[in-house]
């Protein structure tokens, strides 16, 4: 026969166990991370694309939106709401770029046209590309930059640059929508003006909102 004190003790023990389980689960959820954009599983090659077909000198500043990553080459959209805490860039040579989170709509079935608008923007980043020693060893390192940008599920990766060395160009894949002049923060959706037949080698790392 259960006494009143025994019943109360069992209820207290069960409550403490449930609380301990809930506390144990919080760090895992709060620290959940994911990435989107390029998987960075290609070395950069034949990079340095402009947004114009006539190779104007100097090339214009324009926006490259990573709109397509076939196979295992990447993940187009942010998988959940959170904060982008780092950018990873794999460049063939030195380049200056500004990172954006963008929304894309009306992407054509062949990934060669669409509309986009900027929803968040980073500071300007300076990627160095490989050193002479790296090149001697055939290595193209991944460079990591700390940032803090609010991201929403479905956002995509984009960069402003006049010399996009962070890309893999090989098989004519229409990997990037281009916008010349660049997309502007606070503006509405704009139609793309061209397409870059290369895969963007920029990855965003995000932490889950909590």
Tell me the pTM. Answer: 0.82
- Model confidence over 172-188: pLDDT tens digits? 778 899 999 999 999 99
Higher pLDDT, 118 or 171: 118
Residue-level pLDDT at 4? 47
pLDDT digits (tens, 9 = 90+) for 158-170: 999 998 999 998 8
For residue 168, the cross-strand partners are 45, 199
One domain for residues 101 and 126: yes
Only one residue has tokens 């990934």, namely 111
Shared domain for 12 and 103, answered yes or no, is: no
Q: How do residues 63-116 score in pLDDT, each as one tens digit?
A: 999 999 999 999 999 999 999 999 999 999 999 999 999 999 999 999 999 999
- pLDDT for res 136: 86
Does residue 7 carry a pLDDT above 50? no
Structurally, the chain folds into a number of domains equal to 2
2 with 61, same domain: the answer is no
pLDDT band for position 13 (cuts 50, 70, 90): very low
pLDDT at 48: 79
49 and 10 within one domain: no
Please indicate, yes or no, whether residues 150 and 70 belong to a single structural domain of this protein: yes
Residue 209 is predicted with a pLDDT of 73
Give the C-alpha separation, 102 to 183, whole Å.
Answer: 9
Q: What is the mean pLDDT of residues 132-161?
A: 94
Say if residue 57 is in the same domain as residue 5: no
Residue bearing the bigger pLDDT, 99 or 10? 99
pLDDT score at 54: 65
Task: Based on the fold, state whether residues 149 and 55 are members of the same structural domain.
Answer: yes
Name the CA dihedral angle for 121, 149, 176, 124, rounded to a multiple of 10 degrees. 50
Structural domain boundaries enclosing 9? 1-30
Helix (H), strand (E), coil (C) string for the chain? CCCHHHHHHHHHHHHHHHHHHHHHHHHHHHCCEEEEEECCCCCCECCCECCCCCCCCCCCCEEEEECCCCCCCEECECCCCEEEEEEEEECCCCEEEEEEEEEEECCCCCCCCCEEEEEEEEEEEEECCCCHHHHHCCCCCEEEEEEEEEECCCCEEEEEECCECCEECCCCCCCEEEECCCCCCCCCCEECCEEECCEECEEEEEEECC
Token output for 173? 């894949």
Is residue 5 located within the same domain as residue 99?
no
One domain for residues 39 and 116: yes
> Quick one: 152 and 79 in the same domain?
yes
Predicted pLDDT of residue 123: 92
Asked whether residue 20 falls in the same domain as residue 40, the answer is: no
Using one digit for the tens of pLDDT, what is the confidence trace for 17-72?
444 444 344 444 445 999 999 999 999 998 876 777 666 667 889 999 999 999 99
In terms of domains, do 17 and 37 share one? no
């Amino acid at each position: 026969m259960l006494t009143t004190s025994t019943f109360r003790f069992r209820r207290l023990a069960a409550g403490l166990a449930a609380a301990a389980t809930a506390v144990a689960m919080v760090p895992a959820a709060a620290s959940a991370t994911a990435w989107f954009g390029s998987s960075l599983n290609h070395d950069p090659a034949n990079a340095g694309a402009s947004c114009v077909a006539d190779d104007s000198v100097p090339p214009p500043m324009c926006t490259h939106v990573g709109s397509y990553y076939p196979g295992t080459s990447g993940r187009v959209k942010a998988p959940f709401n959170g904060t982008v805490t780092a950018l990873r860039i794999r460049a063939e040579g030195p380049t200056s770029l500004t990172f954006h989170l963008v929304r894309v709509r009306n992407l054509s079935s062949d990934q060669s046209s669409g509309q986009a608008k900027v929803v968040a923007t980073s500071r300007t980043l300076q990627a160095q590309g490989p050193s002479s020693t790296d090149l001697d060893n055939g290595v193209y390192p991944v460079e990591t930059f700390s940032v803090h940008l609010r991201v929403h599920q479905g956002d995509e990766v984009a960069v402003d640059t006049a010399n996009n060395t962070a890309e893999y160009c090989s098989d004519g894949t229409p990997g990037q929508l281009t916008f010349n002049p660049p997309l502007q923060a606070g503006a509405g959706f704009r139609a793309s003006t061209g397409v870059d037949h290369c895969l963007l080698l920029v990855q965003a790392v995000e932490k889950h909102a909590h």
